């Protein structure tokens, strides 16, 4: 009898959960929530239904001995599966996106360590050895009268380093130091923590920008008094960036001269 | 057992004093490579296991001494039995803490020798003198506290409780001391004057390095977390013992123990979201770029998972109250002001708006908060409004509805993307609803969860005063709820521990000592979840074994008569 009544209760609450879920989905659709949020709202309605089903569930029978141990093992497996599945369903950050970036950020620092110097020497020795072998092979197979083509060695840092394009290197630094987390540029990034930067090249000189990066308290932007007081811009770049990296970033920032964007006026502080 | 413990301590002491010297003599020894897991994950697993055992041995004595004091004050032997049983398990797990601690040092030195020696040199006094001395002192006090339990009864009980308090003081100081290097790795002291960070750290005093930005928030967060943990593990012990009980007396005792464990666990849990918020606030204050990394970018989905876990823990703890309430005879007559229900229904909206207008640390929001809490009490005293009441069951059901709503708010992200850089309109909140993803909304959700849990406990308290509670007759499902709470609390600790460590990004010490190894990247949430689950299961297996050995199989039944000490029916 109790079981029948509970079964009815389950049916009733599940139906109610589905109705509320569908209503939430319709409401979310009309108010421009993307489908993923609509699904989420539906799932919340079903979670609510499950909670109310559990509230009125009849008392569970006592389990003893092997049955109790078995139930515990199954319970643990279920929980483990649920948590792993839950974590796996959510969008996953791809570490590959970060690895290249970390390599670039730490390249100069690694080179300064004893291990870094040793690694570089070993790499260069290997490279020379391979070139010598290639030359030797070509000479022996084609004779002495041969034009030996040796592949030019390029820096693995790539993007502009060899070409000396300071602005391109500065753009790299913008990405690597994650300036976009606080500053909007080209309409992207920024969480309103810092000013939009598209026209900063018309408002500040290279020296002033460098001063701001090294000592964030030296300048503030109009309308960002609160963030300035809280010291929101990290005072760490003088420690984290090499002088040539700061110069590159400054060169990039100076090149930003889009007058159609209202970059706030910089104010010199003491 | 004594011999085993002593041997373990000797091994640990030898390890602590000898390992640094050994590595100092062979500076060029290459780091070992852990197969399959890799070095970073190996350190992660061992460190997490050690932290779980350490959290228990620091949290359980707080729980135990409070229980012992309650037993002494109310002349109730069941509190004393509860305290002693928890300490029995603690003594066993103390050895595991030392073992995993030693293992952690060996693994760390083997995998990251350069960094480990660097850190040991910077905190040499802490690692070589203060920490070992505190640990030895704690061991002496813990064993004295445990083995003097039966001899320090009656008039000597006060002194025994004082010994327990001393144990907790030493334990807390030990926690604070070891939190120094841990928090230093997240937020090393900032350079003063024109010095660079590297120059400053080279000359900084030990105190400068210890008392860094996140030290005290981490201390508080871990202290409260350990009490929560101790309470939930006490609940787990009770659940196991309840399931294995053969008599009604045993069942009534372990039913009661489960209730007390859950109450203390939940009581501390109520403070935990705010302690976590304080820690996150300090991390963001130290370096604003940590915030987006945690909340919006690489770790944003870790926080989404955290929201789900905390929601489940609050749902489960309130469900346990519900099951406890259902077995109280006369609970139908318990009523509460209907204004409480009204306040609860509007709380997320009102507090969300208030915190938007006056974000922390601005104080004005506290006035609104105070008014919301006090308003139902004042209105319920006004003649004419007095009779507007709802039953305990109705109130709790409204509460559950709002717990689901609060969970939904907590879990609503700005976008379902692993980093905000990938956000597009198809996966983002519409602009008009953007507030749902911001901190004021999350704070409002957290406060609603806490407020509802307090209301439910008040209702429970009112119910046991007016009705008759029958210990031992609780729904058997409640034992699974206790087990669920302990398992989920441990899992969440693992998750948030990973988050705290990962906020160092590709640094061993943030912004100071880079991690040049190929593993210095943010792992995926799915990968992390596998390891967190593995660590949780390993910890659970050891704790389950310790409970079985100490309480179920290893010791004779207590001499105290349960018939007289544990009321089967009590008001």
pTM, entire model: 0.86
Contact yes or no for B234/B265 (Cβ under 8 A) = yes
| A94-108, B195-209, B340-354, B544-558: segment of lowest average pLDDT | B544-558
**What distance in Å separates the CA atoms of residue B311 and residue B269, rounded to the nearest whole number?**
12
ipTM over 0.90: no
Residues B347, B451: contact at Cβ < 8 Å?
Answer: yes
The answer to whether the Cβ–Cβ distance between A234 and B305 falls below 8 Å is no
Tell me which chain A residue has its CA closest to the CA of residue B308.
Answer: A86
Q: How far is CA B67 from CA B227, B344, B476, B495, B512, in A?
A: 13, 32, 25, 30, 45
The torsion defined by the Cα of A132, A138, A140 and A143, in degrees rounded to 10, comes to: -130
Mean pLDDT of B133-160: 93
B78 phi and psi angles, rounded to 5 deg: -70, -30
Tokens representing B560?
A: 């105290």
Contacts of B155 (CB under 8 A, 6+ apart): none
CA distance readout (Å), A205 to A94, A180, A242, A246, A253: 38, 21, 20, 14, 9
Domain locations in chain A? 2-89, 100-142, 166-268
| Terminal-residue alpha carbon distance, chain A | 81
Say whether A34 and B426 touch across the interface (CB within 8 A).
yes
Contacts of residue B174, defined as CB under 8 A and 6 or more positions apart, other chains included, come to B58, B131, B134, B135, B138
Is residue B123 in a domain?
A: yes
DSSP one-letter code for B551:
I
CA distance B501 to B521: 12
Tokens representing B420? 């905000």
What is the rounded average pLDDT of the residues B281-290? Answer: 89
Whether residue A192 has pLDDT greater than 90:
no
| DSSP bridge pairs for A219 | A268
Q: Is the model's pLDDT at B256 over the cut of 70?
A: yes
- How close is the nearest chain B Cα to the Cα of A72, in Å? 8
* β-bridge mates for residue B428, sequence order: B415
In angstroms, the separation between the Cα of residue A184 and the nearest Cα of chain B is 12
Peptide bond into B136 cis (omega under 30): no
Using the beta-carbon criterion (under 8 Å), do B407 and A44 form an inter-chain contact?
yes
Q: Is residue B137 predicted with pLDDT exceeding 90?
A: yes
CA-to-CA dists, residue B320 to A9, A82, B86, B173, B487, angstroms: 21, 20, 21, 34, 15
Q: Which pLDDT score is estimated for B125?
A: 95
Do A193 and B288 form a contact (C-beta atoms < 8 A)?
yes
Tell me the pLDDT tens digit for each residue of A220-268: 888 887 777 777 788 888 888 889 999 999 999 999 999 998 899 999 9
Q: B470 or B48, which is more confident? A: B48
Q: How far off is chain B from A135, nearest CA to CA, in Å?
A: 34
DSSP string, B170-235: HHHHHHHHHHHHHHHHHSPPPP-TT--HHHHHHH--HHHHHS-TTHHHHHHHHHHHHHHHHHHHHH
Q: Do B487 and A76 touch (CB under 8 A)?
A: yes
Is 50 exceeded by the pLDDT of residue A118? yes
With contact defined as beta carbons under 8 Å apart, do B399 and B452 qualify? Answer: yes
pLDDT surpassing 50 at residue A160: no
- Considering only CB atoms, which chain B residues are within 8 Å of A48? 401, 404
- pLDDT tens-place string over residues B486-543: 999 999 999 999 999 999 999 999 989 999 888 889 999 999 999 999 999 999 999 9
What's the rounded Cα separation, in Å, for the pair A53 and B394? 15
Residue of B201, B236, B241, B292 to mutate, interface with A, max A Cβ within 10 Å: B292
Q: Are the beta carbons of B551 and B237 closer than 8 angstroms?
A: yes
A198-220 pLDDT per residue, tens: 999 999 999 999 999 998 889 98
pLDDT confidence of residue B26 = 52
In this predicted model, what pLDDT tens digit does every residue of B324-345 receive, in sequence order?
A: 998 888 888 888 999 999 999 9
Residues A99, B297: C-beta atoms closer than 8 Å: no
Average pLDDT over residues B21-36: 67
- Using the beta-carbon criterion (under 8 Å), do A31 and B521 form an inter-chain contact? no
Quick check: is B409 in a domain? no
Residue A155 confidence (pLDDT) = 41
Q: Yes or no: say if B395 and B459 are a contact pair by the CB < 8 Å rule.
A: yes
HSE-up of B195 (CA within 13 Å, CB side)? 13
Q: To the nearest whole number, what is the mean pLDDT of chain B? A: 88
pLDDT of B565 reads: 40
Cβ proximity of A33 and A44 under 8 Å: no
Which residue in B397, B400, B417 is closest to A91 by CB distance? Answer: B417
Residue A144 confidence (pLDDT): 54
- pLDDT at position B195: 81
Given pLDDT bands bounded at 50, 70 and 90, which one contains residue A188? confident
Is it the case that residue B302 has pLDDT exceeding 90?
yes
Whole-number average pLDDT of chain A: 85
pLDDT of A100: 86
With an 8 Å Cβ cutoff, is A147 touching chain B? no
d(CA B403, CA B409): 10
pLDDT at A145 (0 to 100):
53
Region A118-122: mean pLDDT is: 72
Pairwise CA distance, residues A33 & A25, whole Å: 9
Angle at A185 between CA A184 and CA A191, to 5 degrees: 10
Domain count, chain B: 1
Residue B196 has its nearest CB partner, among A54, A60, A238, at A238
pLDDT digits (tens, 9 = 90+) for B393-437: 999 999 999 999 999 999 999 888 888 777 778 888 998 998 898
Chain A CB contacts of B407 under 8 Å are 44, 47
Domain covering A166-268 assigned CATH 3.30.420 in the classification: no
Contacts of A25 (CB under 8 A, 6+ apart): A38, A39, A41, A42
Q: Which of residues 150-179 of A touch B (CB under 8 A)?
A: 178
Half-sphere exposure of B507 (CA within 13 A, CB side): 19
Give the closest residue to B398 by CA, choosing from B309, B459, B446: B459
Q: Is B247 on the interface with A (CB under 8 A)?
A: no
* Least confident piece of the model among A125-139, A140-154, B454-468, B473-487: A140-154
Expressed as residue numbers, the domain containing B534 is: 2-330+467-570
């Amino acid at each position: 009898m109790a079981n029948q009544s509970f079964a009815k209760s389950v049916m009733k609450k599940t139906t109610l959960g589905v109705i509320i879920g569908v209503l939430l989905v319709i409401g979310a659709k009309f108010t421009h929530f993307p489908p993923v949020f609509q699904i989420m709202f539906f799932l919340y309605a079903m979670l609510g239904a499950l909670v109310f089903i559990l509230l009125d569930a009849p008392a569970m029978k006592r389990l003893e001995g092997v049955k109790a141990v078995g139930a515990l093992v199954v319970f643990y497996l279920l929980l483990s599966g649920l948590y792993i599945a839950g974590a796996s369903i959510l969008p996953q950050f791809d570490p590959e996106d970060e690895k290249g970036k970390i390599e670039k950020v730490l390249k100069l620092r690694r080179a300064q360590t004893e291990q870094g110097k040793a690694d570089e020497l070993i790499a260069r020795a290997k490279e020379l050895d391979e070139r010598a072998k290639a030359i030797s092979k070509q000479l022996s197979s084609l004779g002495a009268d041969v034009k030996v083509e040796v592949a030019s060695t390029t820096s693995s840092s790539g993007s502009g380093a060899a070409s000396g394009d300071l602005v391109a290197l500065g753009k790299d630094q913008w990405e690597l130091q994650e300036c976009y987390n606080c500053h909007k540029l080209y309409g992207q990034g920024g969480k309103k923590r810092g000013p939009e930067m598209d026209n900063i090249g018309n408002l500040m000189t290279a020296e002033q920008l460098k001063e701001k990066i090294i000592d964030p308290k030296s300048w503030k932007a109009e309308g960002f008094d609160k963030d300035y007081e809280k010291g929101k811009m990290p005072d760490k770049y003088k420690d984290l960036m090499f002088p040539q990296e700061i110069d590159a970033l400054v060169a990039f920032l100076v090149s930003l001269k889009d007058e159609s964007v209202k970059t706030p006026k910089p104010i010199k502080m003491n | 057992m004594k011999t085993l413990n002593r041997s373990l301590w000797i091994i640990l002491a030898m390890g602590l004093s000898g390992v640094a010297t050994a590595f100092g003599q062979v500076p060029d020894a290459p780091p070992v490579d852990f197969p399959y897991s890799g070095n970073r994950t190996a350190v992660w697993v061992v460190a997490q296991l050690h932290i779980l055992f350490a959290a228990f041995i620091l949290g359980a004595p707080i729980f135990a001494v409070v229980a012992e004091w309650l037993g002494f004050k109310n002349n109730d032997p069941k509190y004393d039995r509860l305290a002693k049983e928890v300490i029995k398990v603690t003594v066993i797990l103390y050895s595991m803490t030392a073992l995993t601690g030693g293992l952690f040092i060996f693994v760390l030195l083997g995998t990251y020798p350069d960094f480990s020696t660097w850190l040991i040199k910077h905190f040499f006094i802490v690692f070589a003198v203060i920490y070992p001395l505190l640990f030895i002192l704690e061991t002496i006090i813990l064993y004295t506290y445990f083995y003097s339990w039966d001899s320090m009864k009656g008039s000597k009980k006060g002194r025994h409780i004082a010994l327990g308090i001393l144990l907790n003081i030493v334990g807390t100081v030990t926690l604070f001391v070891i939190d120094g290097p841990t928090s230093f790795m997240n937020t090393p002291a900032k350079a003063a004057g024109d010095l660079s960070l590297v120059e400053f750290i080279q000359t900084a005093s030990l105190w400068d390095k210890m008392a860094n930005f996140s030290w005290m928030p981490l201390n508080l967060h871990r202290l409260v977390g350990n009490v929560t943990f101790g309470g939930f593990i006490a609940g787990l012990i009770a659940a196991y013992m309840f399931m294995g009980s053969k008599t009604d007396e045993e069942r009534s005792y372990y039913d009661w123990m489960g209730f007390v464990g859950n109450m203390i666990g939940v009581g501390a849990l109520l403070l935990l979201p705010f302690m976590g918020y304080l820690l996150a606030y300090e991390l963001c204050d130290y370096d604003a770029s940590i915030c987006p990394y945690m909340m919006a970018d690489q770790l944003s989905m870790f926080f989404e998972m955290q929201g789900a876990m905390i929601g489940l823990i609050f749902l489960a703890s309130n469900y346990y109250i519900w099951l406890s309430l259902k077995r109280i005879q006369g609970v139908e007559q318990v009523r509460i002001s209907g204004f409480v229900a009204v306040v609860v229904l509007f709380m997320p909206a009102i507090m969300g708006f208030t915190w938007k207008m006056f974000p922390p640390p601005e104080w004005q929001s506290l006035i609104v908060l105070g008014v919301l809490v006090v308003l139902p009490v004042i209105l319920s005293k006004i003649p004419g409004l007095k009779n507007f009441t709802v039953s305990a069951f109705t109130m709790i059901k409204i509460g559950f509805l709002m717990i689901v709503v609060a969970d939904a708010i907590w879990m609503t992200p700005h976008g379902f993307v692993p980093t905000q850089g990938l956000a597009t309109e198809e996966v983002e909140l519409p602009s008009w609803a953007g507030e749902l993803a911001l901190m004021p909304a999350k704070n409002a959700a957290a406060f609603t969860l806490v407020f509802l849990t307090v209301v439910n406990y008040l209702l429970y308290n009112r119910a046991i005063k007016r009705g008759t509670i029958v210990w031992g007759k609780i729904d058997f499902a409640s034992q699974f709820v206790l087990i669920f709470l302990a398992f989920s609390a441990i899992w969440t600790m693992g998750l948030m521990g990973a988050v705290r460590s990962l906020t160092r990004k590709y640094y061993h010490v943030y912004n100071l000592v880079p991690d040049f190894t190929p593993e210095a990247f943010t792992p995926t949430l799915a990968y992390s979840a596998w390891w967190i689950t593995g660590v949780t299961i390993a910890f659970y297996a050891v704790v389950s074994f310790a409970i079985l050995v100490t309480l179920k199989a290893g010791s004779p039944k207590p001499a105290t008569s349960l018939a007289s000490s544990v009321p089967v029916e009590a008001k």
